[in-house]
Amino acid sequence: MLVLAISILLVRDRYFRSPRSERLMMQQEQVTYELELMNRDMRVYESILAGVAFNDDHIYRVYFEVDPWPSTLRNAGVGGSYKVPFLVKKEDSDLLVKSYRNLDQVERKLMVQSASFDQVIQMARTKEERLAARPAIQPLSLNDITHFGS
């Protein structure tokens, strides 16, 4: 009798789920779906941020005649140790760890880009002073000029 009761319980737990278990499974699927959407959105934001960094290096910094930021500065602090080590040890936490990593990467790149824009804004404010310090007429003597327009 005891063997029959145990086998019935095992079969019931394995093939028939309780309403609470069904609800938890649905919630888990919903959270997984939302995390995947969030990761996709973060990849989009990261590509937008890469476009902003490209404009910063190839438009704004060229206009102000300064060198672009090296990639070592742009990627400073990206990677390295886990910010959330307690999640790594839990089972089925891969998607959550990946989400935290993506968020951390985008956050750090955004902070670096913000610092770069602060520098560009400062250069824009001092552009007039730098232009005033530059000689307006090219310092050539008349003896050095041999051709028209040289």
- Residue 141 resides in a domain: no
Full domain range(s) for residue 33: 14-126
Question: Can you give the pLDDT at residue 26?
Answer: 92
- Residue 63 resides in a domain: yes
Indicate the SS3 state at residue 94: helix
Question: Can you give the pLDDT at residue 78?
Answer: 60
Is the overall model pTM greater than 0.85, yes or no? Answer: no
pLDDT, tens digit (0-9, with 9 covering 90-100), for 34-83: 999 999 999 999 999 999 999 999 999 998 888 998 888 888 766 656 56
- Residue 7 resides in a domain: no
- Residue 150 resides in a domain: no
Q: What angle do CA 84, 87, 92 make, to 5 degrees?
A: 145
Question: Can you give the pLDDT at residue 144?
Answer: 66
* Between 42 and 88, the higher pLDDT residue: 42
- Residue 60 resides in a domain: yes
- Residue 136 resides in a domain: no
- Residue 75 resides in a domain: yes
109 burial level (CB within 10 Å; 0-12, 13-18, 19+): buried
Question: Can you give the pLDDT at residue 83?
Answer: 63
116 burial level (CB within 10 Å; 0-12, 13-18, 19+): buried
Structural domain total, the chain: 1
